[in-house]
Chains A and B, each alone.
Chain A
Amino acid sequence: MRSQYDCVVVGGGPGGAWAAKHAAAQGASVLLLEKDREVGIPVRCAEAVGIAGLKAVVEPQSRWISNVIEGAVLVSPEGKEVLLASDTAQGYMLDRKIFDYDLVRIATESGVEVLTKAYVYGLIKQNNIVMGVRVQHMGARHDILAKIVIGADGVESRVGRWAGLKTNIKLNDMESCLQMTLSNINVDPRYIYLYFGQEVAPGGYLWVFPKGENQANVGLGIAGTFARYKSAQKYLKEFVDRQFPHAAVLYTVVGGVPCAPTLKKIVSDGLMLVGDAAHQVNPMSGGGIVTAMLAGKIAGKVAAEAVQAGDVGTDRLMRYAESWHRAEGKNHERFHKIKQAVYKLSDADLNKTAESVLRLAPEKRTLSNIFRAALIKHPALIFDVVKAFV
């Protein structure tokens, strides 16, 4: 470890790994800091990813994939099942332990240095310009200078806060999530199931994502405004007791997913935020692996070019924010509007939506048509649906 780098990346998840890789590939010296003793652990993820999306950011490797998903089934409050027609519903169940480890390993092939058990406890700043990080590692404290710090430090992004960016999220946009990895259950490994309704997961959804025969990630997210009255844990326990009474729980994980539009400011002088830290999760699905990697790729490239140009000021780094907005950010604003309207629908509305979609031919049961049916009383949003699901 040196005392100075072009870029220091805080956080070794997919966003951080990809930012580090792409900065290093453009010639920057890069240090990646991970607070845990190993990248990839603990897993805080439902592990499902769309094939098309993943392929856009990395060539998938078979060792990352625990199960191939052929389709997605949406379940209405009264239990009507709609199998999505779209090809885009095809996905992989990732093994995030192996996936995350491999992404960091791939980054090191571009020259990225890695330090695990490295706990960043503050930023080095001069006149509000971020100049580096303060790290605790193996009982010693180090100051590491960086021309650009990339904060990929997850939903609670301390890096963003220290830099003075407003990273707090509204309660309504934070999904309170809990997931159990269950075994000894009867699931069809070809399909993921998404359950909707006030009783199951108000302001969110419950997922059953099979990792293979007889095992699945079963979890849910509920909007913070509902979590106030009953916790995610209670909702999930009720579902699992009812649906999978003989299940064994192999792993339980907790987390918050920021289902909001991207933060207004994701860069400042000498600093960029990537992934959950920047609220770059798809606000509709809660999926954030591919979006974080895409953002990391853009951020890494912009960072390396900024260092080469000798200008790491906000205006220069805005190239990252603008490029992200064109690529995904704009669409996330649409998804967020749609999400807010959909989560206000009553169970009766959702049941009616399922019935009307089931009257369509199977190949017409696309997400676009489902949302059009769901938002029939919100014609102003149909434009957003059409744009969002091109």
Chain B
Amino acid sequence: MIGIINDRCDFCGTCVAVCPVDAIELFEARIKILDHCTDCMLCVWICPVETLAAIEQNGTIKNNEVASLG
């Protein structure tokens, strides 16, 4: 699944624009991944500030680089 590191988000809407299945909602200063997300990763890749990340079943962040970013 896709996780959100909320304090990095600038609410720019870029992830919403690339989502092929309209599974991201941006409401004021909050983003939400909807249940029909297909884990295609486009939002994770496009985010300029690495707000989104793939999360393993056990809750760890798949992309370690994200976690290490200052």
B46 touching A174 by the CB < 8 A rule?
yes
Kindly list chain A residues whose C-beta atoms are within 8 Å of the C-beta of B46: 171, 174, 176, 224, 227, 256
Question: Which chain A residues border B34 with CB–CB below 8 Å?
Answer: none
- Given the complex, which residues of A lie within 8 Å of B42, measured CB to CB? 171, 224
Given A178-B48, A224-B46, A169:B18 Cβ within 8 A: yes
A171 near B10: Cβ-Cβ < 8 Å: no
Contact indicator A169/B28 (Cβ below 8 Å): no
> How would residues 135 to 160 of chain A score, 1 for a CB under 8 Å from any chain B CB and 0 otherwise?
00000000000000000001111100
Q: Which B11-65 residues have a C-beta within 8 angstroms of A?
A: 12-14, 16-20, 22, 26-28, 41-42, 45-50
**Partner-binding segment picked from A106-114, A187-195, A228-236, A330-338:** A228-236
Residue A119 at the B interface, CB < 8 A? yes
Residue A98 at the chain B interface, CB threshold 8 Å: no
Of B10, B12, B19, B48, which contacts A231 at CB under 8 A?
B48
Complex Cα spacing A157 to B14, Å: 10
Q: Are A256 and B12 in contact (CB under 8 A)?
A: yes
Q: Which residues of A contact B41 (CB under 8 A)?
A: 228
* Chain A residues closer than 8 Å to B69, beta-carbon distance: 231, 233-234
- Contacts A156-B26, A227-B48 given: A169-B17 contact, CB under 8 Å? yes
Chain A hits for B48, CB < 8 A? 176-178, 227, 231-233, 254-256
Q: Which residue of B lies closest to A167 (CB)?
A: B17
Measured as residues with beta carbon below 8 angstroms from the partner, the interface class of chain A is 20 to 34
Cross-chain contact of A256 among B13, B20, B27 (Cβ < 8 A)? B13
Q: Is there contact, CB below 8 Å, between B28 and A119?
A: yes
Contact B18 A174 (CB under 8 A): yes
The distance in angstroms between the C-alpha atoms of A176 and B20, with both chains bound, is 16
Is B45 within 8 A of A168, CB to CB?
no
Do B50 and A233 touch across chains, with their CB atoms under 8 A apart?
Answer: yes
Given that A168-B18, A168-B20 are contacting pairs, would A231 and B49 also be in contact in the complex, using a CB cutoff of 8 Å? yes
Complex alpha-carbon distance, A167 and B27, angstroms: 18
Q: Dominant SS at the A interface?
A: mixed
Task: Tell me whether A155 and B28 are in contact in the complex, defined as CB-CB below 8 angstroms, given that A171-B45, A176-B48 are known contacts.
Answer: no
A121, A224, A258: the one within 8 Å of B45 (CB):
A224
Number of interface residues of B (CB under 8 A): 22
Smallest Cβ distance from B57 to chain A, in angstroms?
Answer: 23
Question: How far apart are the CA atoms of A157 and B18 in the complex, in Å?
Answer: 11
Bound Cα distance A169, B45 (Å): 14
Per the bound structure, the CA–CA distance linking A231 and B45 in Å amounts to 8
**C-alpha gap A45/B37 in the complex (Å):** 30
Q: Which residue of A lies closest to B41 (CB)?
A: A228
Closest residue to B21 on the A side, CB-wise?
A168
Residue A125 at the chain B interface, CB threshold 8 Å: no
Given contacts A169-B17, A254-B10, contact A228 B28 (CB under 8 A): no
* Bound-state Cα–Cα, A161 to B21, Å: 11
Q: Which of A154, A156, A228, A233: most chain B CB closer than 10 A?
A: A156
A-B contact pairs, 21 of them (CB 8 A): A44-B12, A121-B27, A155-B12, A156-B13, A157-B17, A168-B17, A168-B22, A169-B17, A174-B17, A174-B46, A176-B46, A177-B48, A178-B48, A224-B18, A227-B46, A232-B49, A233-B48, A233-B49, A254-B10, A254-B14, A258-B17
Shortest Cβ distance from A232 into B: residue:
B48
Besides the contacts A167-B17, A169-B18, what 16 more A-B pairs have beta carbons closer than 8 Å?
A154-B13, A155-B16, A156-B16, A158-B16, A168-B17, A176-B14, A176-B46, A178-B48, A224-B18, A227-B45, A232-B49, A233-B69, A254-B12, A254-B48, A254-B49, A256-B12
Alpha-carbon gap, A253 to B9, bound state (A): 10
